[in-house]
Amino acid sequence: VAGVLYVGATARLLLPTLGWRCYCASAALPSCALLLARFWVAESPRFLLLRGRADEAARVLRAVAATNGRSAALPVRLTLAPLPPPPALGELLRTLLRAPHARPLLLLSCVWCGLSCAYAGFTFWLPTFLAAKSVRGLDVYETFLLMTAAEVPGLLLATAAIDRVGRRGVLSATLIGCALALAAFSAASSHAALVRCSSASYFAVVGSWATLYTLTPESFPTPVRATAAGITRMCACVGTALAAPLGSALLGVGASAPLVAYAAMLGACALLVLAVPSETRLR
């Protein structure tokens, strides 16, 4: 959310005055900070065990215990046996394509693809949608900044609800909320209504992203978790790539046609979430 706010604020400040080159340069700055953060991020204990580095894995676990307010000097001797080497990629894929993993993999992959397509499409075509409304005094950069600001309470609400309501319930509710907001945006005609509807869409969609990022890895056991997550992210990339050409094709039908399609896509994703076999909240 902080990154989205940063992008929205810098777009409002830099694009109208200094142009897109300066804006793109400023957008790259957080990535440079990530390169520096790499030196302070601990490696996964499981990864270390897979490579026979048990002492390093134990140090990471002790550091985690200390961060969580536990004594760094564990009350028992910590002995970690090396894990067997991971299976080949072909075996991992065969495992994921068999029961009980095939169904959640297919459903969640479709949700990742649909949500990415709708989210990227609405964001990409937002200036076109606003221009088609012909509302005087509407600043696209200011509108986008207000939309991104709406993600903060949306994320806080989703975070508070995810362990009480459950992953599937929160994800379905936020997807439906975003779909309704996009449908309302397509019918809005005033400045205030457009800002409210677009902000409501981002308020809801940030909860969808947060919950989907939680639900996906929890739906698969450790040996295949990373592979399953990689497949679902690949489907998200496919959805993002399809967003712009889909919107372009539908704009030929009507200015609101892409919005209706994105809203329908999100509604379908909400139904797919309800079909995911298990709730992971109490695991």
Per-residue pLDDT tens over the stretch 227-282? 999 999 999 999 999 999 999 999 989 888 999 999 999 999 999 999 998 777 66
Tokens of 224: 């295949």
Q: Domain coordinates of the chain in residue numbers? A: 1-41, 42-85, 90-274
Q: What is the CATH number of domain 90-274?
A: 1.20.1250.20
> What pLDDT is recorded for position 283?
63
Per-residue pLDDT tens over the stretch 15-42? 888 888 998 888 888 888 778 877 888 8
* pLDDT higher than 70, residue 80: no
Please tell me whether residue 145 adopts helix, strand or coil conformation: helix
Per-residue pLDDT tens over the stretch 172-192? 999 999 999 999 999 988 888
Return the amino acid letter for 196: R
Stronger pLDDT, 12 or 105, i.e. the higher one: 105
Q: Please give the Cα distance from 125 to 226 (Å, whole number).
A: 33
Please tell me whether residue 70 adopts helix, strand or coil conformation: coil
% the chain with pLDDT above 90? 43
The answer to whether the Cα torsion of 233, 235, 238, 239 is positive or negative is negative
Tokens of 252: 């030929």
> What pLDDT is recorded for position 7?
80
User: With contact defined as beta carbons under 8 Å apart, do 186 and 259 qualify?
Assistant: yes
> What pLDDT is recorded for position 76?
47
pTM, to two decimals: 0.80
Residue 168: CA count within 13 A, CB half-sphere: 16
Residue 19: CA count within 13 A, CB half-sphere: 1
Cis peptide before 223, with omega less than 30 degrees from 0? no
Instruction: Report which of 206, 201, 176, 175 is spatially closest to residue 188, judged by C-alpha positions.
Output: 201
Distance linking the first and last C-alpha atoms of the chain: 27
How would you label 203-225 residue by residue, b for 16+ Cβ within 10 Å and e otherwise? bbbbbbbbbbebbbeebbeeebe
Q: Please give the Cα distance from 11 to 13 (Å, whole number).
A: 6
